[in-house]
Structure formats: C-alpha cells, structure tokens
Structure 1
Amino acid sequence: MTVLRTQYDVLLLDLDGTLYAGAHAIPGTQAALGQGTQALYYVTNNASRSPSAVSAHLTELGFDSEDDRVVTSSQTAVRLLAERLEPGAAVLVVGTDALADEVTRVGLLPVREFADSPVAVVQGHSTETNWSILAEACLAIRAGALWVAANLDTTLPSERGLVLGNGSMVAALRAATRQEPLVAGKPAAPLMEDALARSGCSRPLVVGDRLDTDIEGAHAVSIDSLLVLTGVSTPGDVLRAPIEQRPTYIAATLDSLNQPAVESLVGADSKWSVSVNGSALVVDGPVVGDEMSLLRAVAPVAWANPSFQTLEASDAGVADLFASWLV
C-alpha cells in the first residue's frame, strides 16, 4: 500500500500545535518527519518572530530547517502592504520588532504612533501588545489607514494550554473601529499562496492541527490536507466541521505520514456500520483498531447530516469514546 507522504513532493507544515507547543517539541514529531525525502516548508500564522528565529528554534528542537523554508504571516502581511503603498510610506506596527523589521525590508517605514501619520496599520501577535498601542492603531484605522492583520487566530497553543492569539486583539480593534482588516494568514489564501510559490511544488500536502486555519487554508488554495489531533481541534470539532474545514486525512500524530495513506483517509471503514436514526448517528460495531479510524468512519456521515444531536452505540467502548468527543 502507498505510504501517505510519498504521494506528495512538499509538506507545508504548521508549527504551533503541530510540531511543538510553546518551547517544547510534541513527542515523536522529529522522528516522523525525518523518514522521508519530501521538502519540508514551515508555514506559520505566528508573526511574532523572524523567519531566522523560527528556523533556529526548529533546528534547536531537532527539525530539519533553513531560513528560506520558513514562511510567516508577517512576510505575507508586508507583501500585501508593499503591493498597495508607495515606497517609504509610514506603517503603524502593532506587534514585535521582528514584524517592524519585515516592514523595513519591503521599503516601508515602521512607526508606533498616530502622530507619525501612518497610512496603514499592520497587526501581528505580540505578548507586549497593550492598550496604548491598540489606541494608536484605533486612531489610524478610524482616520482611514489600510489595516492588515497577520492572522485571526483567537487562541495560541502553549505548554499551559490555549492562550490569547492575535485574533483576540484584532477583535478589540474591530469592535472599536467597525472596520475589517485585510488578512494575510491562514485560512485566507495569501500566506498559502506564498508558501506554494516559495516551495515550487507540484503536489503539496498541508499538515496542521486547526480546522479553522490550516485545513480551511488548504481548501482556500484547493490542496489536500492532514489534520493531526495534537493541538487545537478535537474529534467533536471534526464532526461539526463545515465543508471548507474538512480534511482529506485525519490522524492522531505525524507518524501517520509514514503509514499507508488509506489508514488516514477519511471515509467508511468495514469495522463499523454508521447509520442515521432521527437526530442520532448510530454506530454498530465494537472498538476495533483505534479511535482515529472510528472518527474517520463517522465523520462523513456527520458531515452529510449536520443537524445530528447525539452519537449512539451498542458497544460500551464506542459509547465512552462518543461521550468524550462531544463534551
């Protein structure tokens, strides 16, 4: 049987929640990625660090990385600005110095105050973002400045759990300005388009942990995707996924890349019979194999019947799994 990764020439890999959580690699990810010959490109919505800093962190954690194989939402955000502004235009930066450096790289002038007459605002994740800089951005946007957000991730995985992401800060400015930003990162297409262009691939696979960014981003550019349940999205999220967030493959870990593709492909499985009874999805069959194969079998039926309310099973083990999925 064909190994999953061998069907593709490039893996477009998410970082937070897929390869690592905070400062620590997710166990087994380095070994899983090291078993193939596909080019590895790292595509991240996190705009807080430079590509070289991201690459250095990946190398420190044991991943094969180079600066030019890191594609960040900050790079895409400033590309969108450069395409729309005159050289030397002032851009108010809500984010880290690394984001400001990207603004400089494309020939624009990073500023931090409304008094400097910015014609645009660029916003990316920073743990230092506070009321003062949001107030400066609010004044600029309300005065007509172009607003570009690196991403709309409401949360960010960390060693302690989910914490505020850039999207939560974007929401504050949206509420204060009643404006919508131009979005660079996943699930919007621009970041994925930059990754595709950079890699020069012909058969790419997106790999990530979030339905609403990684998987939807893959749909935005019409390419296959693998969801790994090591970060944000859960089995319950999968069953409720709208059409633009449905992955090609689902797996517990990245090691699925080195297993037969059919074992991760979403679809019916002969181990179980899945039917619909009113508002319930009913599974006939015992717990055979693993939780992921059951999820891959149930998902298409759930997607075809999005108004389902409950999951039912005669087998106690399956029923217990269902209870954990829908909490």
Structure 2
Amino acid sequence: MLGPSPVPLTSAYDLAMLDLDGVVYISGSAVAGAPEALSAARAAGLRLAFITNNASRPPETVARQLTGLGVPADATDVVTSAQAAARVLRQRLGDGARVVCLGAAGLREALAAETLVPVGAEDDAAAVATGYGPEIPWRDIMRAAVRIRDGLWWVASNTDMSIPTDYGTAPGHGVLVDTLRRFTGVEPVVAGKPARPLLDETVRRVGGRRPLMVGDRLDTDIAGAHNSGLDSLLVLTGVTGLPELLSARPNERPTYLSPDLGGLGIAHPAPEPAGETTRLGGWTARIDGGRAVVEGAGDVADWWRVVAVAGWRHLDATGTPATAEGLHAPVIYAL
C-alpha cells in the first residue's frame, strides 16, 4: 500500500534516481514541467541521478541531451545499464579481462572504463556482454550464441522487450536476450532494471544514504526498487495508466504516487481503508462488481492514490484485478 510522507520527498530523501523516458523526456522532448520540478528539487538539496537501461549511449551523450532539454547534467550524473554490466564483469573477472562486446558504443566504452578489453565475437574471451546495438551483424550473434551455449559466461545489460523510436515502439534488447536464452538454455546475469546492479551502481557512483527511485514503469522502475530494498515514486507521465495500476502485484507497487515530478516537492498523505471503501482528501473509492468506482472531489493526485489502493486491496483479496470500465480519470495537468 502507499506509504505516507509527512514532509516533502526532497526532505525525506537525499538522492533521486530518475528513469528518463516517460519521466524526464518523451520522444526527445522534455516532459511538461519536468525541468522546473527538477530545478526546484535540486534547490531543496536533493541530488539527482539519471539512470537508463539503454546501453547504447555513453553517459556524455545522455548528459548533453538532458542539458539541451533544460535539465542540466554532467556525465557523472548519468548511470547506464552498460556501466552496471561492466562493473559486474570486472568484479568477477578482474582488470584486463577480455570480453566479447555484442553492443554499441555505450557498452564498449563502459567495458574499457572498467579496464576490461572489448573484443569481437570470434576472439578469445572470458565472457560475453550484450546490449542494444542496431548494427550488430547476425553472424556475430550466431557466434556468440554458440559460445554461450558452450559455457562462456554471459552478462546482459537489460531485458527490455521494447524501445521507443521515431517510427514507433520497436523490439528492444530483451528480444535478443530471449532469443539467446531459448537457443542456449542459459540465463544471463542481468544488470539493468528490474535487476539490482544498476541501482547499486548508481548509489556507488553518485552517493546517497536515503535514495528514492523515480519511474513511470511498474515492471522495471518500481519492481527494481523493490528488488533493491528502496522506496519509489511512480509518476503518471509515461506508460502506466489505470489498467496497469489496478493490476500491479505487490512487488510492482510504489511507495508514493504522483501525477508528475512535482510530487518530489510535496508531502504525501496515505489513503485510509474504511471497510469496503478507501478514502483520502475528499475522495472515496470502492470496487463494485469488479469495477472501480470513485466518488467525491479533491486533488487529482489523491484521486489516483485512492483508486490505486482500493484496486490493490481488491486484487489481494480476490486474486483478480478490478477493471476501470466506465471510470474517467481526472486530467493530469502539467506543472
């Protein structure tokens, strides 16, 4: 269930680990109000880290994009799944180990930065590292697959099944991971969300004793926070809507919920169960015949919080998600 914070999250935590697409930007443009909200959070003393499962781009490239969108960032503020994968490899293999690099520049640079030696699919190596890379030749994928099947250790940067592109949603690195997994019968070590290494690497690089994960995806951002034992804030500017929220299993439920990044700068009241209903700030929610029903008036954020908790109570009691049929969510206004 959603937890309360009697003080703004900028006071309760010292580091916000921000997912990028759907949280800070969408399709190359800043989310409305995000630059202002992040500037205010920094002014309140919150350290910001920008984390991404995308292993193809080096941190410097991501930092330049963010700065161009009005969110000033240095390369040291950005942590990628490629960096997390390289750290996992170095911890096991040590300095100078040769690693087959099946990915783009971001993965090659991350391996080299950890004093590992990226090599080709045919070269002598102690492991294989894979990441998103649209120009990887199929012959290299075939050769790496055979070597993994024959026992070469495999670390995958992430298992994201899709990625946003200018021409629509396209297959992500997770599709390649699934192909290799089925061919080889091998489960890779995964570095990106929802696995733990990326969040651990972020804290190691950026610092923070009270980190907060901020994301828009339940199955990666929020599940990743659960896997790392961290609190999380779900924002509704990305892929999560009512159906996804009502279907969230316990390990996909955030600590806090906000329509947008303005939620970093406010306190968070928790909905209160009252018999068959859940109440908060003038709103009352219940599940009637399997459908979510919300009545009352009040703050938009409280509407989402109360319907989420009502839905989770129903799911836990019955094993079946409530539907949002006939339920009209209030408009989420930008900051």
Corresponding residue of 2:3? none
Instruction: Find the counterpart in structure 2 of residue 107 from structure 1.
Output: 115
- TM-aligned CA distance change 1:284 to 1:84, over 3 Å: closer
Match of 1:97 in 2: 105
Structure 1 residue 299 and structure 2 residue 308: aligned?
Answer: yes
> SS state of the match for residue 116, structure 1?
coil
Distance 1:285 1:146 in 2: 55
Distance in 2 between residues matched to 1:67 and 1:124, nearest whole Å: 20
Normalised by the size of structure 2, how large is the TM-score? 0.85
Q: Deviations over 1:133-155 (max 9, x none)?
A: 32122022012111101111112
Q: Secondary structure at the match of 1:285?
A: strand
Matched positions, count: 315
Measure how far apart 1:262 and its partner are. 2.7
Q: 1:145 to 1:312 in 2, by over 3 A?
A: closer
Alignment CA distance shift 1:265-1:93 (3 Å): farther
Are residues 268 and 150 of structure 1, via their aligned partners in 2, closer, same or farther at CA, if it must alter by over 3 Å? farther
Instruction: Evaluate the alpha carbon distance shift between residue 124 and residue 312 of structure 1 in structure 2; reply closer, same or farther with a 3 A threshold.
Output: closer
Match of 1:269 in 2: 280
Letter in 2 for 1:58: L
Structure 1 contact 118–140 (Cα < 8 Å) conserved: no
Q: Which runs of 5 or more residues in structure 1 are unaligned?
A: 323-327
Structure 1 position 21 matched with structure 2 position 26: yes
Verify the 8 A CA contact 2:246 2:322 in the aligned structure 1: no
Distance 1:116 1:256, change over 3 A: same
Deviation digits for residues 96-147 of structure 1 (CA, Å, limit 9, x no counterpart): 023112222222221222x212321111112223422321220220121111
Query: How far has the Cα of 1:72 moved from its partner?
Result: 1.2
Which position in structure 2 is the counterpart of 1:283? 293
Partners of 1:274 and 1:281 within 8 A in 2: no
Out of 49, 55, 69, the residue aligned to residue 61 of structure 1 is 69
Distance 1:121 1:177, change over 3 A: same
Paired residue for 1:308, among 297, 315, 320? 320
| 8 Å Cα contact 2:271-2:306 kept in structure 1 | no
**Distance of 1:142 and 1:66 partners within structure 2:** 40
Maintained 8 Å contact 2:49/2:78: yes
SS in 1 for 2:92: coil
| Identity among equivalent pairs (%) | 38
**What residue ranges of structure 2 are gaps of 5+ in the alignment?**
1-5, 331-335
Moved more, 71-80 or 303-312: 303-312
Normalised to the residue count of structure 1, the TM-score between the two structures is: 0.87
Instruction: For 2:259 and 2:80, locate their aligned partners in 1 and report how far apart those are by CA, in whole Å.
Output: 25
Query: Which SS does the other structure have where 2:327 is aligned?
Result: helix
Q: Is contact 2:272–2:279 with CA below 8 Å preserved after alignment?
A: no
Judged with a 3 Å threshold, the aligned counterparts in structure 2 of structure 1 residues 174 and 61 are, in CA distance, closer, same or farther, namely: same
Change (3 A) 1:211 1:7: same
